[in-house]
Amino acid sequence: MLVFLLLSITLQGSEWTRLRGPNGSGIAEGAALPNEISAQKNVHWKSAIPMGKSSPAITADRIYLTGHENGKLITFALERKTGRLLWRIEAPGHRDEKRNKLNDPASPSPVAEANNVYVFFSGYGLVSYTKDGKERWRVPMGPFTNFHGMGASPVLADGKVIMICDQDQDAYLIAVNQDTGKTEWKVERPEMVHSFSTPITYRNKRGQTEVVIPGSYQMTSYDVATGKLIWKVQGLTYQVKSVPVIAGDVLYFNGWAPGGEPDQRMDLPDFPAMLKNYDQNKDGELSKDEVPKAMHPGTWDMQDLNKNGLLDGKDWQYYRMRRTSTNSSMAIRLNGEGDVTKSHVLWTYQKSLPDVPAILHYRNVLYLIRNGGILQTLDPSTGAAIKLGRLPHALDEYYASPVAGDGKVYLISRNGNVSVLDASGEWSIRSTGEMNEEVFATPAIADGHIWVRTATALYDFAAPAGAK
């Protein structure tokens, strides 16, 4: 029995099959990890790879990634031990979609299981390959209407591949059969606009598997078996990017968007009032000239969801909500039903918030990394601040999410500044290092190795044998 338990723990610890690893936690325990990593330090191997911002998915013997080259969208597999390229395959389509300059044609991360991998490209849709690179099925999707381009990654649950496609028009959530690619269910989300957060799953106390999805203004949770909405929490900011994390029966999430700080709130008249006062040509929509300057959205095109140059009722309502929603990190008690905004939000925190990186919940401390290299730790039970400080030599933007294991927290900035911390609420710096290249992808950890994707390479780091 003991041997079996040990074996299962070892096997579980040996994979990191999606963005941020085991159910998006960002944590892998069970082996010593390097005290220091940089382009020179503790490099086990390094492989040149195509451009892309997706994170690696790691199985027992493979590393999967997506990338792009000369307008082609590529999935590729490396041998885990050596970094040797095993195969690379171009996606069946290569539509070039509008996206934010920080986004990328290959930003969604692959999700893998022992023998197969699943990838999503904004410029094509979903594709599944075997571990040997044979296509199993394909599901063309899009074109998408996401103002900044798509960013969420697919997740696996109960034999389904679940893909959130929140966009400015016709947002939806879809579950396809993992073995066939056939649609199991599809749920329209007309109240949603674009967002970028990768979902998380859990089994609730009633025995249902839920997929929890941060979206514009709302966190929603669906039954994986049927696609039925189970609960929601209102009050999120308008444009979310972070991956939620679950510890025990509490979910932690960070939502930040420009203009969402508490002192930037503004109460705007509703659409009928706007039409009454400002619709000069009486066409039932608002043009740039008709909206008074003080009420203008900063980016007109982002509010004009159907891109006809005019704001209609939905556009205006979305803008009103944007000006009243507030950025925050929050803790939500799971297992709710219905609208649990009032009953299940345990706390919110609004001071020092990350933009893109997810919260790390590690050894009963929350870590929040903000642009400028500002690291805040919080008490997960109360949301109370523990320590706020700047990481040395890392006054930079952060896109990769923090990851942890072996009592160490790894943080890497956009310009490749690495900080390794001794994990604790009163965190301290163990080491710093430089990758000398841009880093957007969240690192992966398994069996004492940590993999870091830079602009041109994948690095495999490991502690020297016998090191402590």
Q: Tell me which residue of 260, 255, 249, 237 sits closest to 210, measured CA to CA.
A: 249
Residue span binding Ca ion (CB under 5 A) among the ranges 23-31, 202-210, 224-232, 297-305? 297-305
- Give dist(CA 212, CA 205) in Å, integer: 15
> Closer to Ca ion at the Cβ: 310 or 385?
310
Residue span binding Ca ion (CB under 5 A) among the ranges 89-97, 156-164, 246-254, 311-319? 311-319
Cβ of residue 317: shortest distance to Ca ion, in angstroms? 12
Give the CA distances from residue 329 to residues 141, 222, 256, 288, in Å, rounded to whole numbers and listed in that order: 32, 21, 8, 34
Query: Which positions from 398 through 437 interact with Ca ion, judged by CB under 5 A?
Result: none
Residue span binding Ca ion (CB under 5 A) among the ranges 203-211, 251-259, 312-320, 391-399? 312-320
Give the residue, chosen from 104, 166, 304, 406, that forms a contact with Ca ion under the rule CB under 5 A: 304
- Give dist(CA 279, CA 439) in Å, integer: 47
* Angle, CA of 81, 84 and 90, to the nearest 5°: 125
Residues 6+ apart with CB under 8 A from 113: 17, 59, 156, 178
Q: What are phi and psi of 69, to 5 degrees?
A: -150, 125
Q: Does 283 bind Ca ion (CB under 5 A)?
A: yes
Q: Does 277 bind Ca ion (CB under 5 A)?
A: no
Under a CB-based contact definition with an 8 Å cutoff, are residues 128 and 110 in contact? no
Cβ of residue 396: shortest distance to Ca ion, in angstroms? 37
How many positions of this chain bind Ca ion (CB under 5 A)? 8
- Give dist(CA 216, CA 148) in Å, integer: 14
Q: Does 281 bind Ca ion (CB under 5 A)?
A: yes
> Closer to Ca ion at the Cβ: 96 or 283?
283
Q: Does 355 bind Ca ion (CB under 5 A)?
A: no
> Closer to Ca ion at the Cβ: 10 or 308?
308
> Closer to Ca ion at the Cβ: 303 or 328?
303
Cβ of residue 167: shortest distance to Ca ion, in angstroms? 15
Cβ of residue 278: shortest distance to Ca ion, in angstroms? 8
- Give dist(CA 144, CA 108) in Å, integer: 14
End-to-end, the C-alpha distance of the chain in Å comes to: 30
Residue span binding Ca ion (CB under 5 A) among the ranges 150-158, 206-214, 305-313, 342-350? 305-313
Give the residue, chosen from 168, 184, 279, 406, that forms a contact with Ca ion under the rule CB under 5 A: 279
Residues 6+ apart with CB under 8 A from 466: none
Q: Does 456 bind Ca ion (CB under 5 A)?
A: no
> Closer to Ca ion at the Cβ: 168 or 210?
168
Give the CA distances from residue 335 to residues 22, 198, 211, 361, in Å, rounded to whole numbers and listed in that order: 20, 20, 12, 19
- Give dist(CA 262, CA 264) in Å, integer: 5
> Closer to Ca ion at the Cβ: 271 or 410?
271
Give the CA distances from residue 68 to residues 112, 125, 126, 141, 322, in Å, rounded to whole numbers and listed in that order: 19, 15, 16, 18, 34
The binding track of 313-342 with respect to Ca ion, each residue x by CB under 5 A or -, is --x---------------------------
Give the residue, chosen from 100, 130, 177, 306, that forms a contact with Ca ion under the rule CB under 5 A: 306
Residues forming contacts to Ca ion in the complex (CB under 5 A) are: 279, 281, 283, 304, 306, 308, 310, 315
